Structure 1
Amino acid sequence: MSRLLRHTAGERGLAMTPDGWAAIADVCALLQMDRTALAAAVEQNDKARLQVDGDRIRACQGHSAAGMPVTCEALENSWRRVTPQELLWHGTNTAALDAITREGLRPGRRTHVHLAPSRNSHVGRRSAVDVLLGIDPVKLGRPVFEAPNGVLLVRSVPPEAICRVEKADAVH
């Protein structure tokens, strides 16, 4: 369900609003599941990625940029704009560090870069990472948004906003 609502709705023909909402009945029909199974999937999602509002459902964040009927603007309008004062964190692998140092963080195939509010956060950070990047929110120069599940999102992170690089092992 998370894959459908984050990545494949367009190719599977699921009607979706620009901020990611789809009718629960349509999702159940596409996935051949009933409402009880859908509710269980939402409840058991380990990253609280799914959000239900009446008869509609969406992924809170993490949408693919291509092939999905969502827009950056509509997603951002559905999230809460925040002004963090502490460092934000992004987990990555060592192989990506050279490119990140030159270009900053880009969303790649996603609409936004995911950030975490703390080094040991369970949201906004991949579980298997080599290094954590400390991001200075003042140097970002762009708005930061918080999805309903607590993930912080930004369209990109310029290289000058990355002020720390730490081994991920040091924070466990």
Structure 2
Amino acid sequence: MSRDSRMVSRLLRHTAGERGLTMSADGWAAIADVLELLAMDRERLDTAVRDNDKQRLQVDGDRVRACQGHSRAGMPVTREALEKSWERVHPDDLLWHGTNRQALTAIQREGLKPGRRTHVHLAPSKDSHVGRRTSVEVLLAVDPGNLAVYRAPNGVLLTREVPPDAIVGADAVHWPRWSGG
């Protein structure tokens, strides 16, 4: 991912509030405001959106947003508005969440919580790139039966949290270490 793509993504997912960027509750900001705040031109922004490795960024006319992965603290986005902008889905198959071994005890007790983010990220299959980070050692199988699950425009599946009883299995991960997230 390019430096510009990381910079735009960080602004729209994590730092808009502290930097004074006006943003709608579902994450849209005026492109002109983003360009001014980041001191970039439209061509660089369009390249950053196009080159974003996880397709997190969206452009719609004169506005831009990160379609998922927002921080809760200090951001003008709300869970409710984000969810209204996503597609509600009803998966029949298990969903997956990657984590590390150290987190398993807490997850067994509390389930999956979004932490500092608005939602927990889930993947539709074990081989999905969603959630693959160098710290992922275990894939948790999640039964989506009683969960409100949404699909962001970039295909990422999200839910507010996963209770312990919806976690129905775990598999060790056997892939090469790689960066990303």
Q: Is TM more than 0.5 here?
A: yes
Q: 1:84 aligns with which of 91, 97, 121?
A: 91
CA RMSD of aligned residues (A): 1.4
Q: Does 1:39 align with 2:53?
A: no
Runs of 4+, deviation exceeding 3 Å: none
Deviations 1:58-100 (A, max 9, x none): 0010000110000000000000000000110000011100000
Q: 1:148 aligns with which of 150, 153, 165?
A: 153
Q: CA deviation at 1:168?
A: 1.1
What stretches of structure 2 of length at least 5 have no aligned partner? Answer: 1-7
Q: Does 1:161 align with 2:166?
A: yes
Q: Does 1:132 align with 2:139?
A: yes
CA distance in 2: counterparts of 1:39 and 1:164, whole angstroms: 41
Matched-pair identity in %: 68
What stretches of structure 1 of length at least 5 have no aligned partner? Answer: none
CA distance in 2: counterparts of 1:27 and 1:155, whole angstroms: 28
CA distance in 2: counterparts of 1:11 and 1:47, whole angstroms: 24
CA distance in 2: counterparts of 1:30 and 1:117, whole angstroms: 36
CA distance in 2: counterparts of 1:35 and 1:171, whole angstroms: 37
Q: CA deviation at 1:127?
A: 2.7
1:1-172 aligned at under 5 Å gives the runs 1-123=8-130, 125-128=131-134, 129-138=136-145, 141-169=146-174
CA distance in 2: counterparts of 1:132 and 1:170, whole angstroms: 12
CA distance in 2: counterparts of 1:71 and 1:42, whole angstroms: 23
CA distance in 1: counterparts of 2:127 and 2:56, whole angstroms: 18
CA distance in 2: counterparts of 1:3 and 1:171, whole angstroms: 27
SS at 2:132's partner residue?
Answer: coil
What's the TM-score, normalizing by structure 1? 0.95
CA distance in 2: counterparts of 1:76 and 1:171, whole angstroms: 34
CA distance in 2: counterparts of 1:169 and 1:142, whole angstroms: 28
Alignment length (residue pairs): 169
